[in-house]
A = this chain, B = another copy of it.
């Protein structure tokens, strides 16, 4: 498994010079995004965020010599030569439980019962597991010799004091949360979850749950993209459908700017013709540019940063990246996975949100337009991948069955069954 893009002959250039390659567009986006300011968050809130500091061991880990088994703390010399036939017999002078903070000292020639995780008494240099003994109470017979250090976890065996356990830039998954907690950290400095505002634009859109009249469709994009945002661990705010004109789009963006670390629109503003007026207005808000990317689905893309220096009357110091994704649901989804995911990682100072990529064998033929990289919906099962029918970009039903995107490079127009392809695994 690898993370990241597809590489091969011509991957970074396209047959049609007026189109950007997927990689060119991804690079342009990442160049425009600065990480969010760090915040100190308690561990439970920091889950899924990205460390903005190194987490070091405040003390040696473990901080004291302790037993890795239930048994008896002894001097190894006192059980040297012990065997089933000739056990060593030692008086048991006490017992140390895990969590016992008392101070114990082993007298040579005796044993102290000890539980897993309990502190090794001073003077002891080995633990004899209970399985090697008669489990005695007042005295214990030991049937096997133990080397010094047997079943002992030494202080600092896991990490020395001051050792870096987690580096800045690490995403706090469950394991990393455990490492921070085990180092005694109640809070850590992280780049917080990006707050993303999602707007669908389009006069043809109707809210789900309300009646449909001919000419209209139910809005699915804002629900889908908000869910996709949350799948990355970011916070999504969904805005109701916005009319696809400057009077609808611009105030909606302005209103959301204050709460957003990233804005995503889907629909009209990426399109041509009638919508140039919205595009022109968006350009005035900042550095938003529109381009065609040599891919299918999802050609028309818009990206920029708005709110800069109060341009366009937004009056904000905030500079907020904005994506204007295509309106077709499939195009919007694929565009999100390829372009917005890496941007969300960059806002957190990380580079880990690309979809995982594997190789698989096509079970059926796949077609792609010349000069464009296709991302076909498919079902990945083991090392085989099946392209789904209904690949037109408005055909959403096949989305519900896909678990992967099959990547057909720019320089291929059709691949036969049996060919090996790169496959992106969907969340």
Point out residues on A near B: beta carbons under 8 Å: 1-2, 43-44, 47-48, 59, 61-64, 68, 70, 97-102, 115-119, 130, 153, 157-159, 163, 165-166, 170, 172-187, 202-205, 207-210, 212-221, 223-228, 230-231, 238, 244, 268, 271-274, 327, 329, 333, 356, 358, 360, 380-383, 390, 392, 394-397, 399-400, 402, 425-427
Contact = CB atoms under 8 A, between A and B. Distances in A.
Given A2-B381, A44-B226, A177-B224, 17 more contacts: A1-B1, A44-B223, A99-B202, A115-B271, A166-B400, A174-B231, A175-B224, A175-B399, A176-B399, A178-B227, A178-B333, A178-B396, A180-B220, A181-B224, A184-B212, A187-B209, A358-B358
A181 B356 contact: no
DSSP class of A's interface residues: helix, strand, loop or mixed? loop
Contacts of A100: 203-204, 215
Contacts of A116: 271, 327
B227 A177 contact: yes
A182 B329 contact: yes
A223 B172 CA distance: 11
16 contacts: A1-B358, A1-B360, A62-B394, A64-B215, A68-B392, A98-B244, A99-B202, A99-B244, A130-B273, A173-B426, A174-B225, A175-B400, A180-B208, A181-B223, A183-B208, A186-B208
Contacts of A329: 178, 182
Contact of A219 (B68, B181, B213, B396): B181
B392 A221 contact: no
A220 B382 contact: no
Contacts of A62: 217, 394
Nearest to A400: B179
Contacts of A176: 399-400
A215 B392 contact: no
A113 to B, nearest CB: 9
A2 B382 contact: yes
A99 B173 contact: no
A42 to B, nearest CB: 9
B395 A157 contact: yes
Contact of A118 (B130, B179, B204, B400): B204
A362 to B, nearest CB: 15
A400 B333 contact: no
- Number of identical protomers: 2
Contacts of A333: 174-175, 178
A165 B398 CA distance: 8
A340 B114 CA distance: 31
B396 A158 contact: yes
A421 to B, nearest CB: 14
A382 B1 contact: yes
A220 B63 contact: no
Contacts of A117: 202, 204, 217, 327
A180 B227 CA distance: 12
Contacts of A426: 173, 175
Contact of A268 (B1, B98, B177, B214): B98
Contacts of A119: 214-215
A228 to B, nearest CB: 4
Contacts of A230: 47-48
Contacts of A360: 1
